[in-house]
Amino acid sequence: MSAEGETRADPRPVIVFDGVCVLCSGWVRFLLRHDRRARYRFAAMQTASGRRLLVENGLDPDDPVSFLLADHGRAWRDTDAIVRVVAGLAGPWRLVHALRVVPRPLRDRAYRWLARNRYRWFGRHDACALPPDGHADRFLP
């Protein structure tokens, strides 16, 4: 089944993340802890679903420096995606929308600088981390 078919079967937005990046795995754990409505699903970019979503949205799965949120046939990248995801957590997290006053090129440049240095600063796992207990159903293969 394609990533698109998986998305149609379960309409929740999909976050594509780097499954071997320590920082990115921490980001996913943060989202699992704060997404009490289980709004988001996840696909490591090293999986077939994650690679397919990256390609479908014009991103190189072998040189992933973008964060991707796919939702109902639309996609957001980089800081637009991050702001949308965090604001979707509801409650006080909605205040993150205020970051939109910073011009997108400036936000995205800072994000890409972090993304390019993530392994050096935060490390990397030898393989994709396993989904935390009780959350396997939220991860695409």
Assign 3-class secondary structure to the chain: CCHHHHHHHCCCCEEEECCCEHHHHHHHHHHHHHCCCCCCEEEECCCHHHHHHHHHCCCCCCCCCCCEEEECCEEEEHHHHHHHHHHCCCHHHHHHHHHHHCCHHHHHHHHHHHHHHHHHHHCECCCCCCCCCCCHHHECC
pLDDT score of 9: 72
The pLDDT tens digits of the residues spanning 59-75 come to 888 877 778 999 988 99
Q: What is the pTM of this model?
A: 0.84
Q: Is residue 140 part of a domain?
A: no
Which domain CATH number covers 115? 3.40.30
pLDDT surpasses 80 at 31:
yes
Range of the domain at 67: 3-128
pLDDT surpasses 80 at 95:
no
Q: Is residue 108 part of a domain?
A: yes
Total structural domains within the chain: 1
Q: Is residue 137 part of a domain?
A: no
Task: State percent of the chain over pLDDT 70.
Answer: 94
pLDDT score of 54: 92
